[in-house]
Chain A
Amino acid sequence: MKCSEARQILWPADDLRVGDDTVEEALAHAERCPDCSAFLEQDRQVAGLIRDSVPRAPAPRELRERLFTALARERAGLDSQAQKTRAAWGRRWVVVAAMALVALSAGSFALWISEGGPGRPSAATAFAQDYLRRVVEQESMRGTDKEIAAFFVRELGVAVQPPKIPGFAVNRAIICLLNGRRGGVIEYVGKGQQLSFYVIPVGDDPITEPEDLRVGQIAGDLSVSIALSAETGLAVATWRDGPHQHALVGNADVDELRLLARRYACPVART
């Protein structure tokens, strides 16, 4: 076998090939021929170097955010509508997103609920269900209440102080992306239960100044209507105060969540 034939059969040197007679013959040639073995060795080295030196460029955060926002719109089936009515988004924000904590055994689920009626329940639920765990997580951190508040100021322009819930400890704070809006989530754990508290700024105007938002006082009183729902084993409470949409989601039952939600919504109810 000629060198040129052997090389044509054995190139690329880093490729696996079926060892038929021709390949065997070419391999035997390369073993005896120093030029061909040098050629193949160099080819292997070049292949390694190519893989090693390939220009790597992580997707910028803005791209990630833009992409997931676009996907969220696609999933909600609202793309064209959203294009036309972008300005009205804040006022027409009638959906509440809720996402569960990463469940210990069963993974996590999310819900997307129409506040005032049927709306688009199937698309909305499907959308939320797909927004699981780290897909929606933009940033997360663990720290003291003060550090968490500072984190939310930095990321959202809202100083959310984690409310204290007896029997629950703050696990971490997360920035999430729901239906194209950035929001904050505080995760709690306790007694085999998990709880997520959401703050999603939905005001029409962009937030320019950090607000001194005290979660326990935002609702004023319980005249604020708390919508309760249960799906896929999760309880969800939702309410809105002015420019913020809130949700409380947990693997608790609905009655228990109603009691817990009052702690978030009303300072009087909090201990």
Chain B
Amino acid sequence: MHRTFEELIGSDLDDLHSAALCFTQDRHRAEELLQEAAIRAFHEFRSGVGPADFRRWMLGILVTTYLLKERRRGVDPLAVDVGPEGEEQPDGRQDAAVPFPEPGTRAHEWLRAWLNEAWPELDAGDRLVLWLAAVERIRHARVAKMLGLAEEQVRRRHYRARRSLSTGASRLLTRDRFLGSAEA
């Protein structure tokens, strides 16, 4: 028996809510976004879709609805695409290799907590791309289609966001104070 729209969205609702909250950074707007996207998806839904395809499809509608709603209120998360010089793509620079702490250690937990807090600091468009590419693991070409961007733009945003978090994490790890207290 085919699963219904309500069943399918019911299984993914927590993840979709997390995504909506990450995009909007606002609880109220995240709920509004999710509801609007769900109603829209409901009308476009064709039965026979499996859970994995549904999730990807529903995420696409969530993203489109997010962009529409933002643009409606005069904000375009993808309008500005300029990052710090040299952080647009991988280059040959030799960063100091900072060993990352092992999972399960206090330092690792600390780092996770820091990363959790660092998401809101990212540019809205970069954050959106990071979620799709790094968390949902959607390929750049597909993300580009979802967002109406060129693949290269997606790659650049992904790199920028990832590098920003990576650099921040490395800085945190090299701080004596942090290492001292984390290992204590």
Interface residues of A (CB under 8 A from B): 2-4, 7-8, 11-12, 14-15, 35, 38-39, 42-43, 45-47, 49-60, 63-64, 66-68, 70-71, 74-75, 107, 129-135
With A42-B166, A50-B135 as known contacts, state yes or no: A133 contacts B115, CB within 8 Å: no
Shortest C-beta distance, A190 to chain B (Å), equals: 25
What are 19 sample pairs from A and B whose C-beta atoms fall under 8 A apart? A11-B159, A12-B134, A43-B162, A46-B162, A47-B134, A49-B112, A50-B130, A51-B135, A53-B111, A58-B18, A59-B13, A59-B17, A63-B31, A67-B38, A70-B39, A71-B5, A71-B6, A75-B42, A135-B4
Shortest C-beta distance, B38 to chain A (Å), equals: 6
B14 touches A68 (CB 8 A): no
Q: Which residues of B are found within 8 Å of A71, using beta-carbon distances?
A: 5-6, 38-39, 42
B119 touches A55 (CB 8 A): yes
Q: Which of B56-64, B76-84, B92-100 contacts A (4 or more CB under 8 A)?
A: B92-100
B92 touches A58 (CB 8 A): no
A55 touches B18 (CB 8 A): yes
- Interface residue from A43, A47, A49 paired with B111 (Cβ < 8 Å): A49
Shortest C-beta distance, B18 to chain A (Å), equals: 5
Output the residue of A7, A42, A54 with the most chain B CB within 10 A.
A54
For A177, the closest partner residue in chain B by CB is B6
Shortest C-beta distance, B69 to chain A (Å), equals: 16
Say yes or no for B124: interface residue by CB 8 A criterion.
Answer: no
For A126, the closest partner residue in chain B by CB is B4
Docked CA distance A133–B170 (Å): 48
Shortest C-beta distance, A136 to chain B (Å), equals: 8
Docked CA distance A46–B130 (Å): 12
Q: Which residues of A are found within 8 Å of B130, using beta-carbon distances?
A: 50
A46 touches B165 (CB 8 A): yes
Docked CA distance A69–B6 (Å): 11
Docked CA distance A46–B160 (Å): 13
List 19 additional contacts besides A45-B100, A52-B112; criterion CB under 8 Å. Answer: A11-B90, A12-B158, A12-B159, A42-B98, A43-B162, A50-B134, A50-B162, A53-B115, A55-B22, A57-B14, A57-B21, A59-B14, A63-B31, A66-B31, A66-B35, A70-B38, A71-B38, A132-B4, A134-B10
Docked CA distance A12–B155 (Å): 9
- Interface residue from B18, B39, B159, B170 paired with A54 (Cβ < 8 Å): B18
Q: Which residues of B are found within 8 Å of A68, using beta-carbon distances?
A: 6, 10
With A15-B139, A39-B95, A57-B18 as known contacts, state yes or no: A67 contacts B34, CB within 8 Å: yes
Docked CA distance A143–B32 (Å): 37
With A38-B97, A55-B116, A63-B34 as known contacts, state yes or no: A135 contacts B92, CB within 8 Å: no
Shortest C-beta distance, B7 to chain A (Å), equals: 5
